[in-house]
Structure 1
């Protein structure tokens, strides 16, 4: 993959277009999450049945990621991500109109497949723009995804409060997603001068180093999944906080993760990816350790906030390093690394839950802290070629 030289205005527009795609992707996930209780109630599903339906998202995302890498490398990231951006609005609507669990699972499989395909192709385009601009910009895209998730969840919550059905909610947000996709389509940059050859060579340079990058993403996403599902439980049941205050733990985690990603590009340019990820791993481990060792609700909120700040820059830097390791096959490299990360996010809460049954939740939550330390020790894997304009 060679990058076409472009003037600054074209690059800025291309970056804005991609920011819009990350925003709409986050909005879709946030909106869906906010209306899960209404979908569950409308279909009369038990907790177990709902969990089966939700597996459709995971299965679809992983399936999409297995295919998208070669598509991106063959046809270019723009030719993949733009159709998927428009499809994201369509598949968001489907779950609201499914008559039963089987239909819901199929609709969520489609939702997950589109989301996973869009995710990898967007990150591949981010690597291209980053290389063309000659400086780190990956973290800003992931920050906007987080902001989109918040906006989508807020929109879904407000419409639920106003007694709108999930179908009306999803259609309204899908209209916004489609409008953003149209805007992005006008400005998106096909930065690759020619697609990669169809031959199946080794993706991402050294297989061993690429696998290590995937393991780092896996470790980081285990922490993200654990914070999402267990931070509030820890404060409520183990530290004795009120239910309202317990929710502040994940709020602090999310806010600090977004703030860290907004600052991540400047930090990466200043410190370099290896030093940044090493420091982030230490901060994440120290923050979660504070939450576990002090044993006070306020320390818990502060600790999970530091945990979020520490994890914030790791995945963006890992994705950037994976895509730059072999730009001709960036799609395949990103697909492999993203798949391992996504598996970590899905299995993390289950792993913590199983360990909590055996050793108690405080000791179980030490697992993500130890994994963050491992990320710090293995940060050398992020060494990559310097940016060239």
Structure 2
């Protein structure tokens, strides 16, 4: 599921020039199209949380999975700007709904699996993005149209979705007896939705995804224009960033099992801040490339752990928490490049880029929010557990406290 979502975005990004030239769009019209796509994503993320909580993640995930491929095809056949805007709005909504639903389902799988798997899932989003971009580049090199590209990738995505959805977890948590369910409901009755913690998690996602968006849009520009490197060297900045992020996500769950989510975020943010900041201050292309590589490694585990914590705040409102956090993170991703551009106009690009390591330090200072325990009565979750290498080692004292609370509620 994560692979399909990443491939759709990667393919669209790679063929933006073909869409622009095919419809003879100006820079301003293209900017408007990208804003509409971002707005669709925010609408989809913001509106899907309550649906996930009401219907279950699987029932929302299936239609989103089956329509995202078709949503990708629509922009390629738009005959004019108005039709393109409508197609991009629909594609953005489909992708936004898929984003929240697949993360909610991954949280449920992780909860049932009793071992961290969220970072590994997000690795496949990165792999899908690279695969989609590579497919777009290959079609462009072969001088094939954007319609042929999107139709091929969209069809393949739909086929893969049909195969994948048969394994989508249908329940929000392992089945419980009627007495356990009644006790859990009694313990959670009257508990307000934790907006404060959700906003803090959203801030972490916002800061992290500003870095991702800025690395994608400004990395090559920084090396080429500010440091005077060749075009090939400048292009390597994002390639190294994406490579180390993918490697970090493929291995991140094992590191999480040793460190726990809070220490992992603190170590990751410190690594990214110091490594990337040093690379910028060195003012040399080689150091900058190393800095982008370290930034990718440092960011790899941040968003997966933030999303995991958001889905585990309240089992009954996992979709709602995820939708808020995902939307705030997405605002950072689409708004981050504009923010860096504005700072570059006021200062210069070299100084503006130093804003990114500062954001990583903010993530480290607020990392404790991903480790706060959920309310009593819910199942042990990824952000609430101590993991050991072979599986899960729970805090026995916390387990005893939870059992006593459930027993007391049952007696009352």
1:149 aligns with 2:137: no
Counterpart in the other structure of 1:225: 213
Correspondence 1:356 to 2:306:
no
**2:105 aligned with 1:117, yes or no?**
no
| 1:267 aligned onto 2:262 | no
Tell me what 2:223 maps to: 235
* 1:230 and 1:349 in contact (8 A); partners too: yes
Distance 1:140 1:288 in 2: 24
Contact 1:203 1:332 in 2 (8 A): no
Structure 1 segment 99-118 matched on structure 2, within 5 A: 99-118=79-98
Give deviations 1:53-82, integer Å, cap 9, x for gaps: 111110101011111000000000000011
In structure 2, which of residues 338, 344, 359 is the aligned counterpart of residue 371 of structure 1? 359
Q: Residue 135 of structure 1 aligns to a residue in which SS?
A: coil
**8 Å contact 2:273–2:295 — kept in the other structure?**
yes
Q: Deviations over 1:221-254 (max 9, x none)?
A: 1111110111111111111111110111111111
Question: In 2, distance between residues paired with 1:278 and 1:52?
Answer: 38
Matched position secondary structure for 2:11: helix
Q: 2:243 aligns with which of 243, 248, 255?
A: 255
TM-score by length of 2: 0.86
1:70-85 correspondence runs (5 A): 70-85=50-65
Cα deviation, residue 191, structure 1:
2.1
Instruction: Provide the aligned length of Structure 1 versus Structure 2.
Output: 366
> Where does residue 280 of structure 1 map in the other structure?
268
Residue 341 of structure 1: which of 326, 329, 341 is its match? 329
Counterpart mapping for 1:175-324 below 5 A:
175-192=155-172, 205-324=193-312
Q: Are 2:166 and 1:166 aligned?
A: no
Query: Shift of the alpha carbon at 1:208?
Result: 1.1
Displacement over 4 Å in runs of 4+ = 193-197, 201-205
Q: Distance in 1 between matches of 2:151 and 2:330?
A: 27
Tell whether the 8 Å contact from 1:65 to 1:336 is kept in structure 2 after alignment: yes
Higher-Rg member (1/2): 2
> Does the CA-based 8 Å contact 2:105-2:168 persist in structure 1?
no
SS in 2 for 1:163: coil
Unaligned runs of 5+ in 2: 374-383, 386-391, 395-412
TM, length-normalised to structure 1: 0.91
| Structure 1 residue 203: Cα displacement | 9.6
1:331-365 Cα shifts (integer Å, max 9, x gaps): 00000000000001111111100101111111101
**Alpha-carbon shift at residue 264 of structure 1 (Å):** 1.0
Q: Structure 1: 5+ residue runs without aligned partners? A: 1-20
Which of 342, 364, 369 does residue 381 from structure 1 map onto? 369
